[in-house]
């Protein structure tokens, strides 16, 4: 497989990280109103970033109730992941399965060597072999593009800002520099909102890039387009309780859960119709039409 560098993805990642870097500078200035000196700030942020970077994959799998599986348990799934990993020139990732009616899949892990590809039992029962290959290749494209690591790092600032907004009022009254605490909380709120919007914009574009990458891995854009349509249609049959429980995992899923207030507010994926249109255009491009 000839993997084409997606310069659009790289440019958007670079721009988003640049803007987030500017927010970091502003944010550290706001935190200085809480702490004396820069060193404690960097220490606290470094600890949070390290924990999020190294343990986010385990938390994602745990939140889904997913378990690692081997070839003896899911031989067809395991062989498909191995074959597609070789086609994508990637190390064999860990394979996990979540017992859920929601038909979906996601990739996690801080690097290509530590990646995990997880599918739900609902997905395995909903798709045929070609469609499943398309979804698995989409997730491997995320791994290839290092999307999981980039998005984890990018979301770190938003997480810290949210914690300060949430807990700042509780502890602010104990701080003698009450005015500084208020300023820090207001700045944290602004940083949280801006980083939230930037990260979601980046997340939506990375889905387009992963769709294209997955289609190039399999050489079959139509299969992934069919899988997306199937998954999107199956969402209507899933109990609302299951959808609500998993809505917080939207950034990881191949198809987001958009029902309810949380799903609409935190839209991390472009509309399925637009993704299918792009895959159909890629199909024509590969066919030389």
Q: What is the pLDDT of residues 148-166, one digit of tens each?
A: 777 777 776 666 666 666 5
* Residue numbers annotated as active site: 139
- Higher-confidence residue of 264 and 96: namely 96
Q: Does the CA dihedral 103-63-23-48 come out positive or negative?
A: negative
Q: Are 214 and 204 in contact (CB under 8 A)?
A: no
Q: What is the pLDDT of residues 120-145, one digit of tens each?
A: 999 999 999 999 999 999 999 999 98
Q: Are 206 and 151 in contact (CB under 8 A)?
A: yes
pLDDT at 204: 83
Which pTM was predicted?
0.76
Instruction: Flag whether pLDDT at 213 surpasses 50.
Output: yes
Instruction: Flag whether pLDDT at 52 surpasses 50.
Output: yes
Cβ-based neighbours of 229, under 8 Å, separated by 6 or more: 272, 276
Which residue spans within 4-93 are E strands per DSSP? 66-68
Domains of the chain by residue range: 7-287
List C-alpha distances in Å: 81 to 71, 77, 224.
10, 6, 15
Q: At residue 103, what are phi and psi to the nearest 5 degrees?
A: -80, 100
Instruction: Flag whether pLDDT at 173 surpasses 90.
Output: no
pLDDT at 139: 95
Q: What is the pLDDT of residues 97-122, one digit of tens each?
A: 999 888 999 998 888 999 999 999 99
Average pLDDT of every residue of the chain: 77
Question: What percent of the chain shows pLDDT beyond 70?
Answer: 63
CA distance 246 to 257: 8
3 state DSSP class of 33: coil
Q: Residue 89: which pLDDT band, with cuts at 50, 70 and 90?
A: very high
């Amino acid at each position: 497989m000839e993997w084409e560098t997606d310069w659009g993805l790289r440019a958007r990642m670079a721009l988003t990280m640049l803007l987030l870097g500017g927010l970091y500078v502003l944010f550290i200035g706001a935190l200085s109103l809480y702490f004396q000196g820069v060193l404690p700030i960097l220490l606290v942020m470094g600890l949070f970033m390290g924990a999020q970077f190294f343990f986010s994959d385990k938390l994602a799998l745990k939140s889904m109730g997913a378990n690692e599986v081997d070839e003896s348990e899911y031989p067809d799934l395991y062989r498909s992941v191995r074959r597609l990993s070789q086609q994508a020139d990637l190390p064999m990732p860990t394979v996990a399965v979540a017992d859920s009616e929601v038909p979906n899949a996601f990739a996690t892990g801080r690097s290509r060597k530590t990646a995990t590809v997880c599918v739900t039992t609902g997905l395995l029962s909903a798709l045929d072999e070609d469609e499943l290959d398309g979804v698995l290749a989409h997730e491997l494209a995320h791994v290839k593009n290092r999307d999981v690591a980039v998005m984890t790092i990018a979301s770190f600032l938003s997480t810290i800002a949210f914690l300060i907004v949430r807990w700042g009022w509780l502890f602010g009254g104990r701080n003698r520099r009450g005015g500084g605490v208020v300023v820090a909380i207001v700045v944290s709120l602004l940083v949280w909102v801006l980083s939230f919007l930037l990260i979601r914009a980046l997340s939506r574009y990375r889905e387009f890039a992963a769709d294209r990458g997955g289609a190039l891995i399999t050489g079959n854009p139509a299969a992934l387009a069919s899988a997306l349509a199937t998954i999107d249609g199956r969402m209507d049959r899933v109990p609302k309780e299951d959808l609500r429980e998993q809505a917080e995992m939207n950034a990881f899923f191949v198809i987001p859960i958009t029902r309810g207030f949380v799903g609409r507010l935190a839209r991390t994926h472009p509309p399925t119709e637009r993704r299918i249109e792009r895959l159909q255009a890629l199909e024509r491009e590969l066919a030389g039409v």
